[in-house]
Chains A and B, each alone.
Chain A
Amino acid sequence: MIRKALWLSATSVFLALLTPAGHAEDRVVNVFNWSDYIDSSIIDDFTKKTGIKVVYDTFDSNEILETKLLAGGSGYDVVVPSGNFLARQIQAGVFQKLDKSKLPNLSNMWDTVSERTAKYDPGNEYSVNYMWGTVGIGYNIKKVQAALGTDKIDSWDTFFNPQSLAKLKDCGVYVLDSPSDILPATLKYLGLDPNSTAPDDIAKAEEALLKIRPYIRKFHSSEYINALANGDICLAVGWSGDVFQARNRAVEAKQGVEIGYSVPKEGAQMWFDQMAIPADAPHVAEALEFINYMMTPEVIAKSSNYVLYANGNKASQQFVDKALLDDPSVYPDAATLEKLYTVQPYDPKTQRIVTRSWTKVVTGQ
């Protein structure tokens, strides 16, 4: 009760700070999105077109977003969690159903993506796709060439085979500190169901990871971007867009570092970042207008061209830069798309087994 009161007062202070001088007719939308994830001119254009002021705030992990949402009264109108987090948050009652009559641009969406996001959000009742990508292997082309004698990685075997990874140990291997991304990949490599929650399967994955653990320098979910770009490491298992960011930073730095990204042929995880409206959002109408605007083909294409991720908007593809659209690591071809898998959120009991197993892999305890 006291907690609630404190939250309410904290939120009202927060909102009071956000809304300038309290003109009742001022329309505002509070957006909470991932950092480095939009071309900021899009926000200005939206305000010019609609008169709605956008208060844009960013986060850098699903966990931080989730904690704010679960505590309630976050004050945000549009948030962008990833699919497996979204699914659990819907279950916890965090979001409200979207009024689809206010979202005419839904007709632009790409069914290949919508079918998959429906696994997290049945009927796509609560969310709209913003961007999507894969979990794959980012690597330093020259260093990998020197260590392995090839400049092309196309299989999980390079990472999960201890003999192969041992050769890369000295030049540095980073892995996402995220069991929900790495465990499914391990299961896939072992020929098991990436979504398996059987303790036996998790134990097998743990065993496979422990075998390659000595060759991994660090588990971290963001440091690898700079480490790859600076040439400090030669391989990272990470999110596609982060690796592309590393590639661009390397090009800008002109230090001769070249970064490649591979969607392994065995199949890789596809992830989705979904726009949704919290149940207690203060500006629902504005939030819907914002989401609808983001589904305008030219707008979302502009965002893709800037952040280098694929989006879930079919009609936007004619406006996406050709180089990006033709890059199979961003927009995979039909055959690769077929092999990509999605992961479901773990139930609390499995989550505990998975986290414990992950702690063992990461710390050896």
Chain B
Amino acid sequence: MSNIAVTDAAAPSTAAKPFLTRLGTGFVNRLVIIVPYLWLLFFFLIPFVIVFKISLSQTAIAMPPYTPVLDFRDGISGFFAGFRDLNFDNYVWLTQDALYFKAYITSVVIAAISTVLTLIVGYPIAYGMARAPATIRPTLLMLVILPFWTSFLIRVYAWIGILKPEGLLNQLLLSLHIINQPLVILNTYTAIFIGIVYSYLPFMVLPLYSSLEKMDYSLIEAAKDLGCPPTSAFWKITFPLSLPGVIAGALLVFIPAVGEFVIPDLLGGSQTLMIGKTLWNEFFANRDWPVSSAVAVILLLLLTVPIMFFQQAQAKAQEQGK
């Protein structure tokens, strides 16, 4: 399916097509497939190997601030001699202080709660969009994407103005006599959840929308005709059919939320211990590139598991698409 689309893009002119067919589309296909692999090699695998290598090194007061630096200054033998100084001490270090474990757990819990909240907020939006008249759907879709036109940082800063004790929200609630004391929201976990749900909502709504839009609504009508109440029709038909969208959306929110640094820093209180901040501390405050690399490698492993689920879900979705 995707291969065909890519080949079309690679050979847009009809005149070229016979030539390509003669040459064999297999060759072109292979050539085209190589591009994403090269991309992954240069922008994922090689950087990862570098980070992994640093995580096996030790800190030093030097440029760069770790040792050994594997280079060819002392020839090839010097390059290989450096390998003897690599070890797993930094990973052992991570197990010795409960701090890191707690930070990983807190991050995963915060990300999980945020994901559920985003799903609860995003589902009705996506559902409403999918059921809206086809003529206004592009407009609604545009509205979901619109916030991306403003800097992410500015939008998070705006929440400070809304949530602070003398902020817009408290002023409104006080003037309506709903509350007598300003609510303390800024610098709490609540503010972090609000920030994450707000920032990542489009990532949840878009995949949900695309799976809900494809749904055949005559199924619901059939259910209705057969006497199924709307609530159970939703849980028995709509929700299961939208599951690939739910999983895709949940992973798109969960994975970046685990490593989130900016939102907890601006909206959360200082007591928030997330892995992003711990990593920052190791890298910038302790200048310990090796330990921070080890933290990053573990974080990556932690996230690989949900990504594998994501790929499985996608494979399933594609099968259903056929």
Given the known interface contacts A179-B285, A356-B97, A365-B102, the answer about A92 and B63 at a Cβ–Cβ threshold of 8 Å is yes
* B61 adjacent to A362 (CB under 8 Å): no
Nearest CB in chain A: distance from B51 CB, A: 10
The total of interchain contacts (Cβ-Cβ below 8 angstroms) comes to 84
Kindly identify which residue among A1, A177, A219 contacts B72, using a CB–CB cutoff of 8 Å.
A1
User: Which chain A residue has the least Cβ–Cβ distance from B49?
Assistant: A2
Kindly identify which residue among A71, A88, A91 contacts B64, using a CB–CB cutoff of 8 Å.
A71
Decide if A220 is an interface residue (CB 8 Å cutoff): yes
Decide if A112 is an interface residue (CB 8 Å cutoff): no
Decide if A35 is an interface residue (CB 8 Å cutoff): no
B98 cross-chain contacts in A, Cβ below 8 A: 365
B266 cross-chain contacts in A, Cβ below 8 A: 223
Interface of A is mostly: helix
- The winner among B63, B166, B273 for most chain A CB atoms within 10 A is B63
Kindly identify which residue among B64, B99, B278 contacts A72, using a CB–CB cutoff of 8 Å.
B64
B79 cross-chain contacts in A, Cβ below 8 A: 1
User: Which chain B residue has the least Cβ–Cβ distance from A69?
Assistant: B63
* B270 adjacent to A220 (CB under 8 Å): yes
Kindly identify which residue among B165, B166, B272, B283 contacts A67, using a CB–CB cutoff of 8 Å.
B283
Tell me the residues in window 267-322 of chain B with beta carbons closer than 8 Å to chain A beta carbons: 269-273, 278, 281, 283-288
* A348 adjacent to B61 (CB under 8 Å): yes
* A356 adjacent to B63 (CB under 8 Å): no
B109 cross-chain contacts in A, Cβ below 8 A: none
Nearest CB in chain A: distance from B157 CB, A: 10
Bound CA–CA A1/B103 (angstroms): 33
Decide if A39 is an interface residue (CB 8 Å cutoff): no
* B61 adjacent to A1 (CB under 8 Å): no
One digit per residue, 1 when the CB lies within 8 angstroms of any chain B CB and 0 when it does not, for chain A 162-185 equals: 000000000000000101000000
| Count of B interface residues, CB-CB < 8 Å | 36
Nearest CB in chain B: distance from A98 CB, A: 19
Tell me the residues in window 246-301 of chain A with beta carbons closer than 8 Å to chain B beta carbons: none
A63 cross-chain contacts in B, Cβ below 8 A: 284-285
* B70 adjacent to A1 (CB under 8 Å): yes
* A1 adjacent to B71 (CB under 8 Å): yes
* A232 adjacent to B164 (CB under 8 Å): yes
One digit per residue, 1 when the CB lies within 8 angstroms of any chain A CB and 0 when it does not, for chain B 158-183 equals: 00000011100000000000000000
A177 cross-chain contacts in B, Cβ below 8 A: 270
Bound CA–CA A177/B70 (angstroms): 35
Kindly identify which residue among A61, A66, A363 contacts B287, using a CB–CB cutoff of 8 Å.
A66
User: Which chain B residue has the least Cβ–Cβ distance from A64?
Assistant: B284
B265 cross-chain contacts in A, Cβ below 8 A: 220
* B284 adjacent to A218 (CB under 8 Å): no
* B270 adjacent to A362 (CB under 8 Å): yes
Given the known interface contacts A232-B164, A363-B273, the answer about A352 and B99 at a Cβ–Cβ threshold of 8 Å is no
User: Which chain A residue has the least Cβ–Cβ distance from B266?
Assistant: A223
B72 cross-chain contacts in A, Cβ below 8 A: 1
Decide if A100 is an interface residue (CB 8 Å cutoff): no
* A364 adjacent to B64 (CB under 8 Å): no
Kindly identify which residue among B46, B63, B278 contacts A94, using a CB–CB cutoff of 8 Å.
B63
* A356 adjacent to B50 (CB under 8 Å): no
B286 cross-chain contacts in A, Cβ below 8 A: 348, 351-352, 355
Please give the residue numbers on chain A whose beta carbons come within 8 Å of chain B beta carbons, in ascending order: 1-4, 61, 63-64, 66-67, 69-72, 88, 91-94, 177, 179, 216-220, 223, 230-232, 348, 351-352, 355-356, 358-359, 362-365
Please give the residue numbers on chain B whose beta carbons come within 8 Å of chain A beta carbons, in ascending order: 46, 50, 59, 61-65, 70-72, 79, 97-99, 102-103, 164-166, 187, 265-266, 269-273, 278, 281, 283-288
A72-B63, A356-B97, A359-B273 provided; 4 other pairs, C-beta below 8 A?
A: A1-B70, A63-B284, A71-B63, A223-B266
